[in-house]
Amino acid sequence: MAVTGRLALLALVASALPLFFPYGWVVLAVLALLVLAAAVDFALAGNVRGLNLHRTGDTAIRLGESGQVGLIVENLGKRRVRAVVRDAWPPSAGVTPRTADVDVPPGERRRIDLTLTPTRRGDRSPVSVTVRSTGPLGLAARQLPRPAPWTVRVLPGFPSRRHLPAKLRRLRELTGQQVALIRGQGTEFDSLREYVAGDDVRSIDWRATARRGDVVVRTWRPERDRRIFLILDTGRTSAGRVGDIPRLDCSMDAALLLGALASRAGDRVDLLAYDRTVRARVEGASRTDLLPAMVRAMAPLEPELIESDAAGMVSALLAGSRQRSLVVLLTELNTAAMEEGLIPLLPRLTSRHLVLVAAVADPRVAEMAAARGDLAAVYDAAAAERARADRRRLTAELRGYGVEVVDAGPDEIAPALADAYLALKAAGRL
């Protein structure tokens, strides 16, 4: 039995009565009445064990959006239940309201509507539902935690989808009316037309030119049905925060935009999340199923505070792909990790695939490099410049191996990666 604050207040008043009434029996009589009233109130309180709790509503919510989950309170007992219900969820679930008052007659049910606005990806489940049933006098209550299991999967946000229409227009220019005029690996012959100033002379068709008497060039269009491998590094470097979000979440956003764009271009897209083992994999998804499959695979991913195994990642990649593909590695340009892990393996990787490394730069480093307020700011600026110099040196070293590099801030990484893909497609390198 839970004694309410009202009963405690009455007990306090009763304990103060001897100050005004010298007779002890009065005090004892008042306390006895209070105990009797509390016992009667407790007996009249609705039976919490007779409640049946179950849920309904959303099972998946995209990060940054809100969803609804309903808690159904059904009274299977014979007595009315007037209760306060506290539905305990993790703070990152963003549940409102946290408590609600219900009045459930016997044989009836009531619904409590909860709004969830999650602040983190992954699966979110309630801890417990605590029901506090009070008596008609409000002096005592029955309280009991009751299970009401439910799981809401918080899917990755896709804020860069606002860039998709513009990128698709550029893609249509490449594959439609305005075709790529640059010869290279991975292009297909499209048609013949007259030469205009600025055309690549390597595209001149000399036989057609001799037949027509005018200079004629071949036009080329990017080849379809190429294979794109998106690799998410889920090791320790992906746990760093850039702005207010983890680096891994920025990489996921960029991967989703590139996956949506490449699938519209007719390319096959596979996803691999790796640190020292495979954390998630998407293979062979159709164009319509690709984004939902990627979102489902990414949702439960969390950074692992371990060093990524570059050799294992390269082996898993080479074992799963024999045709030449575009390998997009979303990781961090960490000098120590790269020099000890990926760089020694690049000749083996670039001999079979076109490799693109995409990294999320921390805008705070640029802010520190520009600061000159006091001595501490000068030291911070020097450290930031050193970090930027190391990053530029590492970028140059990667490009020396024939690796394309995209290094941009959290708000620019997704469109920058999409632009790099389109540039490779326009240049006939895919």
Would you list the DSSP string of 157-224?
P-GGGGGHHHHHHHHHHHHSSS------TTEEEEEEEE--TT--GGGB-HHHHHHHSS-EEEEEEEPS
pLDDT at 29 over 80: no
pLDDT at 55 over 80: yes
The pLDDT of residue 206 is: 79
Dihedrals phi, psi of 39, to nearest 5 degrees: -65, -45
DSSP letter at 7 equals: H
pLDDT digits (tens, 9 = 90+) for 353-362: 999 999 999 9
What are 326's strand-pairing partners?
228, 354
| Distance, C-alpha 117 to centroid of its chain | 14
Report how far apart, in Å, the C-alpha atoms of 307 and of each of 243, 261, 299, 361 are: 23, 31, 22, 19
- With a CB cutoff of 8 Å and minimum separation 6, the contacts of 281 are 270, 271, 272, 273, 297
**Is the pTM higher than 0.85?**
no
Burial code (b: 16+ CB inside 10 Å, e: under 16) for 231-241 equals: bbbbbbbbeee
pLDDT at 405 over 50: yes
Cα dihedral value 352, 168, 410, 286, nearest 10: -60
pLDDT digits (tens, 9 = 90+) for 204-216: 877 878 877 778 7
pLDDT digits (tens, 9 = 90+) for 78-114: 888 888 899 999 999 999 999 999 999 999 999 999 9
pLDDT at 221 over 70: no
Q: Are 204 and 181 in contact (CB under 8 A)?
A: no
CB atoms under 10 Å from CB of 43, counted, come to 12
Question: Is 38 in a helix, a strand, or coil?
Answer: helix
Q: What is the DSSP string of 117-130?
A: --SS-EEE---EEE
Range 229-239 average pLDDT: 95
The DSSP bridge pattern shows strands 326-331 and 216-222 to be: unpaired
pLDDT digits (tens, 9 = 90+) for 318-339: 887 778 899 999 999 999 889 9
| Distance, C-alpha 164 to centroid of its chain | 18
Residue found under tokens 């020292």 = 276
Task: Name the band, by pLDDT with cuts 50, 70 and 90, for residue 179.
Answer: very low
Task: Name the band, by pLDDT with cuts 50, 70 and 90, for residue 77.
Answer: confident
- With a CB cutoff of 8 Å and minimum separation 6, the contacts of 326 are 226, 227, 228, 229, 353, 354, 356, 421, 424, 430
